[in-house]
Amino acid sequence: MDHFRALLTGLLMPVAFGGAAWALAAQGGRWSVRLDVLTHFAPLVLFAGLATAIYGVLFESGGARRWLLALGIITIASSASLIAPEYLRPRSEPLPAGAPDQIKLIQFNAWGRNQSLPRTIEWLKAQDADIIVVEEASEIGPMLTKALGYHVNCRFCSVIILSKAAPVSRKLPPMPGERNDRPPVARATFRDARGEYTVIGTHLTWPIYGGWQQAQGAMISRLLDTFPKERLILAGDFNSTPWSFSRRREDATFGLERRTRAVFSWPAGRFSRLQIDMPFPLLPIDHVYAGAGWRTVDVERGPLLGSDHYPVIVTLAPSP
């Protein structure tokens, strides 16, 4: 038994050092977009820190215990400082389920390699949502348009907005920057009894490509500035978690309230790159924002479908 414990401690020690180094380096995401990539995995690093500290307390003694406990505490403290602001940030007072004039919006990356399109479409149809924002929609878009009979801004685009109500406008204003650098964007403006409101959908690139994702976020921020923000809605796959410093900066520059609070949405089912079946999602990267003219009624994660993302369902109602 002592030999097994010594072996396990020998394996855990480099994990403990690595976890502490990762958690501390992630703090550099304040200044470096490359180090900011480390912040996205803060919950996993936090778990590693907890496991290290608990093992040290329960199964080790002397110097090994002190090292494991110290490294575990460093990892826990640094990771928790990244995650905690997401749960502590202020949010507008939600409205009850019976609030009038609600709209139900689904944000969903349908995934280009979705092998269960009929099941995915059937679920979306059953939801009877008012607005559906879909990314990686090139294949599912035409099928979804036909099955739902909704209005759609573009049947074959990468990002589409489907709606029960007919948009009064779909045209996007000119976006700055080179075309290949811009994120795919869709826009639909609607009119109801309170006036017009605009829904924008987008899909940002992964954060591993230097500052490309941050540049795309800045483009989205400038695009949002061209619309009245009181009733503006933004939804998309941002490939960015709430504990990254980039996400926090964009939350501030967008001028909208992010209604999704740590809704873990990726990966779903089989992890597309490693072909591993994931029992639960690890990262909250699908987000929905709305202006002060909207209040949140409900936010929930949808079921496992054929995508590598879970859908996110947000119900909003006009502010009283």
How confident is the model over 189-198, as a mean pLDDT?
Answer: 97
Query: Up-side HSE of residue 286: CA atoms within 13 Å toward CB?
Result: 29
- Same domain? 173 vs 311: yes
Q: How many domains does the chain have?
A: 2
For residue 97, tell me if it sits in a domain.
no
| pTM, to two decimals | 0.95
Asked if 286 and 308 count as a contact pair (C-beta separation under 8 A), the reply is no
Residues 75 and 109 reside in one and the same domain: no
Closest C-alpha to 226, from 189, 257, 194: 189
Both 215 and 241 in one domain: the answer is yes
Residue 60: pLDDT band (50, 70, 90) is confident
Amino acid identity, residue 114? N
Q: 3 pLDDT exceeds 80?
A: no
Q: Is residue 45 part of a domain?
A: yes
Contact 286, 107 (CB under 8 A): yes
Q: Are residues 37 and 178 in the same domain?
A: no
Let me know whether 111 and 190 are in one domain.
Answer: yes
Calculate the average pLDDT of the chain.
Answer: 94
Average pLDDT score over residue span 192-221: 96
* Domain presence at residue 96: no
Q: Assess whether pLDDT exceeds 70 at residue 58.
A: yes
Give the residue from 88, 122, 150 where a domain finishes. 88
pLDDT of residue 4: 74
CB 154 within 8 A of CB 186: yes
What is the tens place of the pLDDT at every residue in 259-304? 999 999 999 976 656 667 778 899 999 999 999 999 999 999 999 9
Average pLDDT (40-68) is 93
- How distant is the alpha carbon of residue 213 from its chain centre? 14
> Domain residues for 32?
2-88
Is residue 108 situated within a structural domain? Answer: yes
Cis amide linkage into residue 267, ω under 30° from 0: yes
With a cut of 90, say whether residue 180 has pLDDT above it.
no
Map residue 275 onto helix, strand or coil.
coil
In a domain, 276, yes or no: yes
Give the pLDDT confidence score for residue 29 in this predicted structure.
97
Same domain, 244 and 281: yes
- What number is the average pLDDT over the span 178-191? 90
Min mean pLDDT across 4-18, 55-69, 136-150, 227-241 is at: 4-18
* Separation of alpha carbons 182 and 186, rounded Å: 12
| pLDDT at 178 (0 to 100) | 67
**Token pair in block for residue 220:** 């989205």
